[in-house]
Amino acid sequence: YSQDNYKKLGKEVDRDEWHMTPQTVNAYYNPTTNEICFPAGILQPPYFDLNADDAQNYGAIGVVIGHEMTHGFDDSGRQFDKDGNLADWWTEADTEAFNALSEVLVNQFNAIEVAKGVNANGRFTLGENIADQGGLRVALTAYLDSMKGKEMKEIDGFSAIQRFYLAYANLWAGNIREEEILNRTMTDPHSLGKLRVNATLRNIVEFYEAFGVKEGDKMWMPENERVIIW
């Protein structure tokens, strides 16, 4: 890997080069080329399923696509312009507003205890938390736009919007030991799977409406404490 990079010194940047193999089950946004990439490996369940209904696919691969798009406007990606140059292209007022909203999100995650005596690191995971929220919102908007004039059917007792959010939650379902919780909290810029679902959805009003979440429910967060960045 290092030798390959060394050979690139002095050469023109290959903007068509992939940074993941086609078999990789992942996706990425590259701010220096302003591109999003989705290898073939991610185009399978639970991310994408040809046999699933649109609500499920928009809630899964749709959110992942929106997530990677939003990385272009998170705390790191926003520092690069459309050509991939490190440049301050935001107005001072926009930067101040973004930072103020981001601080609310940081504090939300900082307040969550992930293990006895250990809290999540909202600063470390800020970029990914912004991308999760943005991905959910843009994917839902895209789904609703695609369904204009069409019937959004109930399936297995769940509405289309409920299935959208359930598909997203299913991406991050898992069970890990406390040692792994601590390891990921210290080393992974992504929040733990449970937090990517519960802590993120608590800010989104459409989630409350879809499931009838009300004051007193565990997923309820007072409106004045919620924050939407994108």
Report the alpha-carbon distance of residue 195 to residue 38 in Å, rounded.
Answer: 24
Using an 8 Å Cβ cutoff, are 60 and 46 in contact? yes
Q: What is the Rg, in whole angstroms, of the alpha carbon atoms belonging to the chain?
A: 19
Name the residue among 166, 144, 135 with its Cα closest to residue 228.
Answer: 135
Q: Which residues are catalytic?
A: 68, 132
Cβ neighbours for 174, distance < 8 A, ≥ 6 positions apart: 193
Chain centroid to Cα 97, Å, comes to 20
Residue 131 to residue 6: CA distance in whole angstroms: 32
Largest CA distance in the chain: 61
The label of the residue with tokens 């994917």 reads: 139
